[in-house]
Structure formats: structure tokens, C-alpha cells
Structure 1
């Protein structure tokens, strides 16, 4: 047989995208009883592949930039991803409607599973994703949810339900939109058109908002000071050169914190809970446990172990933010962004200097 004929009969290896879709299609078939995916489901599955492919490449680049002393030896590549678990998770999130191509829906975070020697993928819900979940599974979903920050130059008068007022209400006026003063707090308002007696007004002081701020919130989001790093040619690495002040997006973070609180306050209807929702809660629990293990390992020989669970407070965008393994500050390398700031709903490997509207 000629070389040309041999090449013709050689089986073409499927691409990583094709292997991914095959796993997802098989999982869809086993979970819903049929193999055929709708066009919408196919598009979502493709979006998950595109998003994760980008995250894996960026994470691997960051891994390679670390010195060998602090670098995990397992490359962050598709070959080292737990595909069985990933396909199950993607199906659950896709069936709920989370779309990684949409801003603030869902963020993907690779983390090492020491039990399997593979990378699992954590799914961090953005504030829009939290809204999507509350609307789909909520017991008594409001017709409208209002979220507002209140500044010192605004006029705000709450009206709580009592003997003289049949429903919660409020008066709110922005007197000077271009000089609203300092943030005093904020509120959210659940309104029901047909049954206004169920309207609900919840106020949050600035102190209550900042309670949901992660312990290690990134100054790129919340503002404040951060370490300043510069390249040292002699040491051939980044070295710390004092601190610098960062303005961040403080107002936006406070608003997102209230937004997350508003949708977290919608009770889940147990009759609407399905296998996808249960799978989602299981994944959240697994990711939280993995984070605890990482924190214990990172602080095993230190006096204090300070664990901030992922999820709420946010992102804390309102309430949530998750965390990602932090670079050891003694490594002489610039630390990576902490996923606890997902309170901010910033895509895992997104530039910290980008506008919050893209988060």
C-alpha cells in the first residue's frame, strides 16, 4: 500500500472541541433520555467550550510564569481536566440557562483536585446568573426588583407597612445627579403588581454592604492600596516596590452587593427543584470544600487559618465572591487576582482595569 493510501485510511483524530461536544451530547442523552440537542443547547455547549478553552490557556500561561518552587507541576490543559465531571456540570448549568458568553452569568475557575490528580472546573455565578436562578426556581418571584444606592445629597424616605400603610413603599429623589455626595447605603424593593400588599422594602446601611465585602477583596474592584511590583533585571523576577493607591469601582461594587442580596432574598420553591438544581448545589459544596482544603494547605504551618468560603458575600458583588488560589507573597512574583472578588463578577482571567459593565 502506498503512503498516500495509508494516509487515506488513517483515522482522523477528533479535535478537542469535538471530544468535548461528544461528552456533553452523551451526558444530555443519559440525563434527558434522548441524544438530540436543541440548537440552543448546542450553542450553550459551544460557548462553554470556547470560554473554558480561553480560561485554561490563560491559567496555564500564569502557571508557567511562576518560579518552579511555587509552580504546580500539572499543566492546566484539556488533557488534565476531569472531563466526566465537566460534562455533567456543563449539562446542569446549560439546562438551567447559564451562558458563559453573556456578561455576569457564569465564570469558570480551574482548580486542582488532589484526589484525582486532575483539574476540576468551578462555576461561579455572576449577579445576572443569580437573578436567572431565582426567577426560574423562586417561590414567589416579584414582578419587578428595584436596586438603588442612596447618597448623602439624595432624598430617601422609606414607608414601611403598618396600620396606616397597607404596603411597603418609599420616596426617592436624586436631587443632584452629578454630585450625589457620599454613599450612605442602599435598598432593594420587591414589587408585586397584582398583590401590592406583598411589596417588600429592604434597606442596607453602608456598614451592612461592606460586611459582604470579602476579607481579601481586590483593590482593583473595591479601591484602596495594593502592592506595587516592578521587574528587577538582577533578580530576574518581579519584586515588591511599596504600595500604590487604586481607585477601583467602589460604587459599582456596592450596587452589585445589593443586587445579589435582592435576588438571594427570593425563596426557592421546593416543588420547582429538579436534578439540575441539586447538581448545582452539589457543585457549590464541592468547590467550597476544595477551597477549604487549599486554605488549610496554604496555612498549615502558620498561627492563623483565615478561611473565606466562596459564594457569598459576593462576589462579592453583592454577596458573593469566590476565591482562587493565591500566589505566595514570598515568591517574589506578582500575586494573581483573588477570585473572592467575584463578588465583582469579573470573569476569572479578565483584566482588572476593564470597565465593570463588561464583568
Structure 2
């Protein structure tokens, strides 16, 4: 236990030193504030957890197992320190629910693991508020059920303000989900108000290709003695995932103001662009989206996404998403 503790302390100190050096090179000889130190510690804890889970998954594989251990010793620390500084200064905090999550991805050129950062839906909200052009005073997001009363009132030559009518007619049995909407509300300039209505088909199109049934609901395999013996229906948290999907669309619809773009934003976009094409994007999409990215403490638990997945015991969610 003493050896393990010493090793973990060394890893933490190494991580903090990299972050401090990168911070100093970008802003000069200025000490990190207590808040920035806390954020760096939060990133260390989050990355450490992601590495541990990914290494456990690597060791379970029987075929095509990468021989490079997923550990701090094999992480591309130069890139990680730059990415941590950029996202920390933007305000992403991995300790906050649904801000940002991390997963390791093999960089074959360097024979190292890069850490990929995945924005949660609350992280999208933070970015929209900080960098948005004409940021709404309020962003209203609602899921519409079959018994609800909803009517959109669009702008025309006789009506200068786009708005809507919405009322819940049966609070305890609202029926089936039929869609959702979001509304950008501007208090002083209501003529800018914007209503976007999404039917269920529009929402389902945004559902991740490898969405986890633990959250979206559906059928999953039952395993016994390393053999698939049947299927079971999982309720999941479909309503919450629909809300999250509409929420992401609402904040993704805020235009970024080019005059607000800073070095941290550019570093973040450059990092994202490195994984925008090819097999890297496919693997990240499969691993990240299978884990319902925006669920606190539920992320980075890929399930049967490898070419040779190991059978796992069936698991049911023990609690709801932290919405």
C-alpha cells in the first residue's frame, strides 16, 4: 500500500508540474490561483479514473489486445497539459456534473495515449454563454408529451415576436413523448426570440449510433457462464436522454462570436480537430456515445464495443442520471 501511495503521489506531482509549466509558458511567471490548482487536481482525478477503467478493459480482451499498458507512464503528457490548461481556463470542471469527460486513445505515431476530452451538455451551455454571439437571456427547453397543449406562434408580418403556448394538462400521466422544443428568449430585444420545434423523429436522429440501453432503454444481452443466453428489456432513462438531446441542440444553436475567440478556445478546437476524421473519430464515437456521455460517474464504461468483447454480467442502472 505504501508503494502504491508513493507511486500515485508521484503521478499526481508529475501531472501538476506539467500543468504549472504549461501555464507559466502561456501567461508568464504567474502562480496558479487556488481555484486553478483545484481544477488541475480535478482533472488528474478524472484522467486517473479513465485510465484505470480503460486498462481494466484492455486486460479483459482476449484478441487484438494492444500491448501498451494504459497508464500514466504512457500518456502524452505534453498534449494533455496543454489541453487541461485550455479547458480549465474556459471553465470546464470534470468534478461538476455533465461538464466534461475524458477517455484515452492510442496515438500510434508516438506510441502513447492521447486523452480525448468530450463535452457534456452542461459544458456546451458554459461554452455558449462564454463565447456566444447574442447569447439569449433565457434558454427554455421542454419535452412535449401527447396530453400536453403546445402551439407554436411564428413570426409573420402581423406578429413581430416568435413565441408559443405550452401547458401540461395531466401532470401525473402525460402520455407518450411526441417531441420537444427550445426557445431562445431575449428580454430587451424580443424580436430576436427564436423557437425551434423538434418532433420525435428529429430527436431520434440525434441519438448516438451506439447508445447505451442503460440510459436510452431497449433490449440487452443476458450472459451466463460466458455465454449469451437471451435478452432482457431495460427501461433506461429515455425521458431524460430526450431532454438532454434537445438541451444540447438548444445550446449548440448559439453562434460563436469570432471576437470572443481566445487562445484557449483555439487550442480546444485544434484538439477536437485532430480526431475529427478517420478511424479515431469512429472509435471515439462508439466508446463515448455508448456510455451516454453526459451522465456523471456513468461515463467511460464501454460495453461490448470491441471486435472481441468479453461477456459481462447483465447490469441494471442503480440510479437515475444526474440531470
Q: Would you say same fold, with TM above 0.5?
A: yes
Question: CA deviation digits over 1:156-212, x for unaligned, max 9?
Answer: 111111122220111111111110001110100000111111111110000000010
Match of 2:168 among 167, 174, 196: 174
- Over 3 Å counting, the alpha-carbon distance change for 1:322 and 1:42 in structure 2 is closer
Query: Within 5 A, what are the aligned runs for 1:1-359?
Result: 15-67=10-62, 69-230=63-224, 232=225, 238-289=226-277, 292-293=279-280, 295=282, 327-328=305-306, 331=308, 333-334=310-311, 353-358=317-322
Question: CA deviation digits over 1:322-356, x for unaligned, max 9?
Answer: 99796435x361379xxxxxxxxxxxxxx972534
Query: What are the ranges of 5 or more consecutive residues in structure 1 without an aligned counterpart?
Result: 1-11, 233-237, 299-306, 337-350
Q: Pairwise CA RMSD of aligned residues?
A: 2.8
Q: Does the CA contact (< 8 Å) of 1:146 and 1:190 recur in 2?
A: yes
Aligned counterparts of 1:153 and 1:208: Cα–Cα separation in 2: 20
Question: CA deviation digits over 1:84-124, x for unaligned, max 9?
Answer: 11000000100100000000000011111111111110000
Query: What are the ranges of 5 or more consecutive residues in structure 2 without an aligned counterpart?
Result: 1-6
How many residue pairs get aligned? The number is 311
Larger CA deviation: 13-22 vs 132-141: 13-22
Larger CA deviation: 75-84 vs 50-59: 50-59
SS at match of 2:220: strand
- Over 3 Å counting, the alpha-carbon distance change for 1:52 and 1:175 in structure 2 is same
Q: Does the CA contact (< 8 Å) of 1:328 and 1:335 recur in 2?
A: no
Question: CA deviation digits over 1:265-304, x for unaligned, max 9?
Answer: 0000000111111111111122333x62475xx9xxxxxx
With CA pairs under 8 Å and 6+ residues apart, which has the higher RCO, 1 or 2?
2
SS at match of 2:116: strand
Question: CA deviation digits over 1:207-244, x for unaligned, max 9?
Answer: 000010122212111111122222x2xxxxx2222222
- Over 3 Å counting, the alpha-carbon distance change for 1:268 and 1:284 in structure 2 is same
Larger radius of gyration: 1
Q: Does the CA contact (< 8 Å) of 1:29 and 1:35 recur in 2?
A: yes
SS at match of 2:276: helix
**Alpha-carbon deviation of 1:30?**
0.7
Calculate the TM-score normalised by the size of structure 2: 0.88
